[in-house]
């Protein structure tokens, strides 16, 4: 496993931004004289962090390095602040464009990554789960599979946010800075259900979807609702609930489960 961390100037974000990349390119057992390194171009997972995270969050809180090595998978981890991976024109920060286009193109130019849709996946935890589902649907020609772990699928509850909410993630001021007019999120491209309907209407290929959430997770209801919507629309989805809460232990277990589900 080779690990790279650096930054580059992003046109979409108008700033230098860090990324961390894992490559399964040096899986060598010197004592036994075994080299089981994967050969490029590598199948690639774009892995998105949750709120208050960054490009190194998964490296320090999960066993993603081992999962990547064991499955001959490259993993690209960006740093996208608390943006919900959405474009924010007033701030000149286009996180949706960045993850779905610029980041993919840049990493493919720098690293020996496969350019095939069937070899390119996106997943995330919490806010990153929302980002992965939305980005994967929006850029369905790029990604063939989506993984949502404890996803913050909050589109339908945003219209109920009031000024009295004081938790950082629930304050109206913050959510409006990210989503814009909260009454207009449902039915827009910030709403994964809208994107599903749009893809079905256009008869476009929908990426394979994997979802999991803890039975005691505060986002369980939202995940169950999106799963129900997918089933009603006859969209294939793998959905599971397991004992657990919104924790790194849960995330670690089910990121590995998602990678195994890819059947690489």
* Averaged pLDDT for residues 158-174: 75
Residue reference for tokens 């994997």: 210
**What's the pLDDT band for 30 if we cut at 50, 70, 90?**
low
Cα–Cα separations (whole angstroms), residue 136 to 15, 49, 87, 109, 143: 24, 15, 15, 20, 6
Specify whether the CB–CB gap between 153 and 126 falls below 8 A: no
Domain that holds residue 175: 2-261
Q: Got the DSSP string for 33-90?
A: TEE-PPPSSBEEEEEE--TT--TTHHHHHS-HHHHHHHTTEEEEEE--TTSTT-EEGG
Backbone angles phi, psi at 133, to 5 degrees: -65, -50
Whether 28 has a pLDDT exceeding 90, the answer reads no
Q: How many Å apart are CA 193 and CA 79, to the nearest integer?
A: 26
CATH code of the domain containing 225:
3.40.50.1820
* Averaged pLDDT for residues 18-31: 83
Cis omega (within 30 of 0) for bond into 41: yes
* Averaged pLDDT for residues 8-29: 91
Specify whether the CB–CB gap between 48 and 128 falls below 8 A: yes
Our count of domains for the chain comes to 1
Whether 161 has a pLDDT exceeding 90, the answer reads no
């Amino acid at each position: 496993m080779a690990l790279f961390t650096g930054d580059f100037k992003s046109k979409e974000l108008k700033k230098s931004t860090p990324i961390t990349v894992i490559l399964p390119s040096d899986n060598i057992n010197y004592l036994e004289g075994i080299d089981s390194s994967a050969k490029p171009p590598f199948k690639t997972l774009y892995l998105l962090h949750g709120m208050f995270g960054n490009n190194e969050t998964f490296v320090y809180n999960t066993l993603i390095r081992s999962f990547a090595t064991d499955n001959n998978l490259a993993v690209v981890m960006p740093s996208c602040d608390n943006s919900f991976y959405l474009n924010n024109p007033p701030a000149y920060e286009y996180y949706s464009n960045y993850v779905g286009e610029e980041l993919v193109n840049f990493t493919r130019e720098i690293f020996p990554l496969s350019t095939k849709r069937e070899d390119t996946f996106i997943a995330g935890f919490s806010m990153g789960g929302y980002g992965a589902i939305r980005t994967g649907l929006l850029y369905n020609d790029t990604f063939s599979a989506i993984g949502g772990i404890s996803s913050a699928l909050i589109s339908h509850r945003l219209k109920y946010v009031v000024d009295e909410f004081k938790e950082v993630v629930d304050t109206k001021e913050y959510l409006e800075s990210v989503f814009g007019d909260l009454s207009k999120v449902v039915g827009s491209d910030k709403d994964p259900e809208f994107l599903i309907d749009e893809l079905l209407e256009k008869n476009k290929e929908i990426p394979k979807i994997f979802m999991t959430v803890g039975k005691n997770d505060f986002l369980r209801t939202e995940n169950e609702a999106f799963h129900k919507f997918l089933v009603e629309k006859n969209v294939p989805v793998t959905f599971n609930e397991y004992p657990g809460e919104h924790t790194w232990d849960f995330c670690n277990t089910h990121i590995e489960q998602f990678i195994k589900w890819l059947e690489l």
